[in-house]
Structure formats: structure tokens, C-alpha cells
């Protein structure tokens, strides 16, 4: 039970930080936090679901697997920027320069196939 609570708090903290830092996603960490809280801290899960800022994206995901259009655009832009930075400044193996952008493209396709609000 303590590990679920620890995971819930850590994921929530990363989600809050992600709300202010564009390089760190917010919603995936909130989803992880709500999931972990549901395993070992129902009161925190209920609070998170009722929260006016953080609750709606978690509820939309749980109800319909939905992701807001703004979040989709933001994620797409950030993935494209990441792929661009990797191509321009990355000192990595050539296969990484191919595989990572293809993976990000696959993630973008999956993301845009998710229902919206």
C-alpha cells in the first residue's frame, strides 16, 4: 500500500511540474497518479478526480480514452521539436536518428486516432 501511495505522489508531483515545464508532459503523469492512487489510496484518487484543473483530463481518459485537441497539438509540436533537435544536435548512432523519429511518428498517429473531448 505504501508503494502505491509513493508512486501516486511522485507521479502527481511530476505532473504538477509538467504543468509549468513544456518538456515534461502533465497528463500521462496524472493518469499514472490516479491509477496508483486507485490501488492504494482511494481518498487521493477521489481528490484528484474532483480537482478542477487535473480531474477533467483524467476523467475524459477513463470514460472514453479521450485526449483534448490542445493536448494533441502540444504533444505533436513537442515530438516534432524533439526529433528536430535530435537530427540537428544529436551525437548518437545513425540508427537512433532513424528509429526515434519513426517511434515518435507512430505515437503521433496513435495520439490523433484517440477520441477528443
Residue 41 backbone dihedrals phi, psi, to 5 degrees: -155, 70
pLDDT at 34 over 80: yes
| Residue 35 confidence (pLDDT) | 94
Domain boundaries, the chain: 2-64, 69-113
Residue 39: band (very low, low, confident or very high) from pLDDT cuts 50, 70, 90: very high
Whose cell is 532513424? That residue is 98
Give the span between the Cα atoms of 103 and 81, in whole angstroms.
14
| Residue 1 confidence (pLDDT) | 86
pLDDT at 102 over 80: yes
Give the span between the Cα atoms of 22 and 75, in whole angstroms.
10
Interval 83-94: pLDDT, tens: 999 899 878 889
Instruction: Give this prediction's pTM.
Output: 0.75
Contact 38, 32 (CB under 8 A): no
pLDDT at 101 over 90: yes
Amino acid at each position: 500500500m505504501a508503494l502505491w501511495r509513493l508512486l501516486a505522489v511522485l507521479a502527481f508531483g511530476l505532473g504538477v511540474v509538467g504543468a509549468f515545464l513544456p518538456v515534461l508532459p502533465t497528463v500521462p503523469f496524472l493518469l499514472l497518479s490516479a491509477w496508483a492512487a486507485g490501488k492504494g489510496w482511494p481518498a487521493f484518487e477521489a481528490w484528484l478526480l474532483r480537482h478542477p484543473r487535473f480531474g477533467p483530463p483524467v476523467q475524459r481518459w477513463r470514460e472514453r480514452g479521450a485526449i483534448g485537441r490542445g493536448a494533441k497539438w502540444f504533444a505533436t509540436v513537442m515530438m516534432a521539436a524533439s526529433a528536430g533537435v535530435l537530427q540537428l544536435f544529436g551525437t548518437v548512432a545513425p540508427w537512433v536518428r532513424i528509429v526515434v523519429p519513426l517511434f515518435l511518428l507512430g505515437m503521433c498517429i496513435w495520439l490523433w486516432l484517440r477520441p477528443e473531448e
